[in-house]
Amino acid sequence: MAGADTISREELAAFLLRLADDHLILGHRLSEWCGHAPMLEEDLAMPNMALDLIGQARVLYQYAGAVEGRGRDEDALAYLRREREYTNCLMAERENGDFAHTMLRQLYFAAFMEPMWETMLSSTDETLRGIAGKAVKEVAYHIRHAGEWVVRLGDGTEESTRRMKAAVEALAPYVGELFESDDVTKAVAEAGIAPKPASLRSRFDAIVGPIFAEAGLEWVEAPFTQTGGRRGLHGEAMGFLLAELQFMQRSYPGAAW
Amino acid sequence: MGGTGTITSFSPSTGVRRTGRDPWPDPGWCRPVDEGQRAYRAAASVVDPEIPVVTIEDLGILRSVEVDGDTAIARLTPTYTGCPAVLAIELAVEAALRDAGFEPRVERVVSPAWTTDWITPEGRQKLRDYGIAPPAKASNSIRALFGETEVACPRCGSGETARISEFGSTACKALYRCEACHEPFDYFKCI
């Protein structure tokens, strides 16, 4: 019988780190909007969502550290790894671009994670069941928030529509990577810990589709899929992001307050 | 257990006399004191640092307190995953247990996940009295993506309210406005 005990520590830790890296890096990107949002409510909303994502990253890193058993705590995993050791999806690390780009990326990631968390409510892994129980509700707010903006901007002024269409074009090559399979996703799926990413695609489409329809946006098929994040191969933006993210712990090791 | 559970305080400067629940009712000296109960009561009296009218017991985040010799182990569950008050609450629980004479240990429990349904009826009333609309019973669903949740104004009770921002002053609150009395108010988000 498949179960959480049929998977190796390395594979489970690798899966947890991917998930944690996605949340940390996207949370960091969102936090960059703090103080720069187009209106006060958004200045509260984006750091709030960043807080959700970074909070989810923290519990995932804590668990990953315990599973891998190499004595690394959440800070060591978040702040003291090298670029090639991060396995977040490339979408998360992309520069924020304008508000339309940020909101569309948020919608995509939330529409990917909602069915993922929802499936993990019945994971064979008890810790992940607990984390999913909370996260599935938090991510529902992210979908609603980002979805409303995609509709408002896509179906808004000439300028906002132009920008939202540009965001759809720009992000199209990064959607496919979310649903990729490899040895790690196969191992966690076989152990009943998490769903196969490809199995989430129809539910992603069922969330994004109606929002696009209401926004008057057309789905753009990407000419190619940008990939590599799960193997630690990142874009140019990642190095700059990590420089800022890691600065404090690199300069003042063990700093705490 | 001895004691009446209520206490009267008197402030000489204001002349105000208050009667309220005693966080430290007399445990009754002639009987053996239940240490588990005493530790639980100490931990349960800790208030939320951001909504100081509700205790962690009201919020339903204090899962259990267990006494083992001199050590009291309190198990807490976070409300929101990224709630920045978690650490402050854990430190306050440690302090409360230490004040009660225990060696404190606080454990964080993530499973099962806390939901706003765990807020006690008393906690919901305290939130309302404080001007925060308590959460609707867990009805959060993305199927109602663009539907509005019915939130009653905590001041005048009107159902004619509008959401200003889904994300408010803390992770757990959204910002609303009452269309009847025109007062803005916080809504404790349903999760």
Is B87 within 8 Å of chain A by CB? no
Say if residue B130 is in the same domain as residue B100. no
- Residues 180-219, chain A, touching B (beta carbon < 8 A): 207, 210-211
Instruction: Please indicate, yes or no, if residue A227 is contained in any of the structural domains.
Output: no
Domain that holds residue A107: 7-221+232-251
Q: Measured between CA atoms, how close is A195 to chain B, in angstroms?
A: 20
pLDDT of residue B1: 40
Q: Which of A44, A51, A126 minimises the CB distance to B168?
A: A44
Say if residue B15 is in the same domain as residue B103. yes
Say if residue B135 is in the same domain as residue B183. yes
Convert the pLDDT of each residue in A147-174 to its tens digit. 999 999 999 999 999 999 999 999 999 9
pLDDT of residue B90: 94
Is B81 within 8 Å of chain A by CB? yes
Tell me which of A198 and B165 has the higher pLDDT: A198
Say if residue B60 is in the same domain as residue B100. yes
Tell me which of A234 and B116 has the higher pLDDT: A234
Mean pLDDT of chain A: 95
| C-alpha–C-alpha distance, residues A237 and A217, integer Å | 28
Instruction: Please indicate, yes or no, if residue B35 is contained in any of the structural domains.
Output: yes
The answer to whether the Cβ–Cβ distance between B81 and A143 falls below 8 Å is no
Say if residue B63 is in the same domain as residue B143. no
Task: Determine which of A116-125, A203-212, B181-190 has the lowest per-residue pLDDT on average.
Answer: B181-190
| C-alpha–C-alpha distance, residues A88 and A174, integer Å | 12
Instruction: Please indicate, yes or no, if residue A256 is contained in any of the structural domains.
Output: no
Instruction: Please indicate, yes or no, if residue B152 is contained in any of the structural domains.
Output: yes
Domain boundary among B108, B140, B166: B108
Chain A residues within an 8 Å CB radius of B83: 55
Instruction: Please indicate, yes or no, if residue A12 is contained in any of the structural domains.
Output: yes
Residue A4 has pLDDT above 70, yes or no: no
Say if residue B26 is in the same domain as residue B96. yes
Instruction: Please indicate, yes or no, if residue B114 is contained in any of the structural domains.
Output: no
CATH classification of the domain holding A247: 1.20.1260.10
| Residue that the structure tokens 């000439």 belong to | A158
Query: pTM for the full model?
Result: 0.84
Q: Please give the interface size between A and B, counted as residue pairs whose CB atoms are below 8 Å apart.
A: 91
Instruction: Please indicate, yes or no, if residue B172 is contained in any of the structural domains.
Output: yes
The secondary structure element, H or E, covering residue A64 is helix A40-68
Say if residue B81 is in the same domain as residue B21. yes
Enumerate residues 6+ apart whose C-beta is below 8 A from A62: A73, A74
The answer to whether the Cβ–Cβ distance between B111 and A129 falls below 8 Å is yes
| Mean of pLDDT values over A228-251 | 96
Q: What is the DSSP string of B15-33?
A: --EEEEE-SS----TTS--
Provide the number of structural domains found in chain B. 2
The answer to whether the Cβ–Cβ distance between A52 and B82 falls below 8 Å is yes
Say if residue B13 is in the same domain as residue B102. yes
Domain that holds residue B184: 125-188
Q: Which of A44, A144, A151 minimises the CB distance to B142?
A: A144
Q: Which of A23, A39, A48 best tests the B interface by mutation, with the highest count of B CBs <10 A? A: A48
| C-alpha–C-alpha distance, residues A113 and A203, integer Å | 10
Say if residue B10 is in the same domain as residue B102. yes
| C-alpha–C-alpha distance, residues B98 and B63, integer Å | 19
Instruction: Please indicate, yes or no, if residue A208 is contained in any of the structural domains.
Output: yes
pLDDT of residue A54: 96
SS (H, E, C) A151-186: HHHHCCCHHHHHHHHHHHHHHHHHHHHHHCCCHHHH
Count other C-beta atoms under 10 Å from residue A117's C-beta.
24
ipTM for the whole predicted complex goes beyond 0.85: no
pLDDT of residue B21: 63
Instruction: Please indicate, yes or no, if residue B1 is contained in any of the structural domains.
Output: no
Q: What is the pLDDT along chain B (191 residues), one digit of tens a residue?
A: 444 455 544 454 555 555 566 655 555 554 456 889 999 999 999 999 989 999 999 999 999 999 999 999 999 998 888 788 888 999 999 999 999 999 999 998 888 888 888 999 999 999 999 999 998 765 545 444 445 568 899 999 998 999 888 888 787 888 899 999 999 999 988 77
The answer to whether the Cβ–Cβ distance between A44 and B165 falls below 8 Å is yes
Say if residue B11 is in the same domain as residue B88. yes
The answer to whether the Cβ–Cβ distance between A127 and B82 falls below 8 Å is no
Instruction: Please indicate, yes or no, if residue B117 is contained in any of the structural domains.
Output: no
Instruction: Please indicate, yes or no, if residue A2 is contained in any of the structural domains.
Output: no
CATH classification of the domain holding B85: 3.30.300.130
Q: Which of B110, B140, B168 minimises the CB distance to A130?
A: B110
Instruction: Please indicate, yes or no, if residue B118 is contained in any of the structural domains.
Output: no
Count other C-beta atoms under 10 Å from residue B177's C-beta.
16
Say if residue B132 is in the same domain as residue B101. no
Convert the pLDDT of each residue in A25-70 to its tens digit. 999 999 999 999 988 889 989 999 999 999 999 999 999 999 999 9
Provide the number of structural domains found in chain A. 1
pLDDT band at A94; cut points 50, 70, 90: very high
The answer to whether the Cβ–Cβ distance between A52 and B171 falls below 8 Å is yes
| Residue that the structure tokens 């978040």 belong to | A78
pLDDT of residue A235: 96
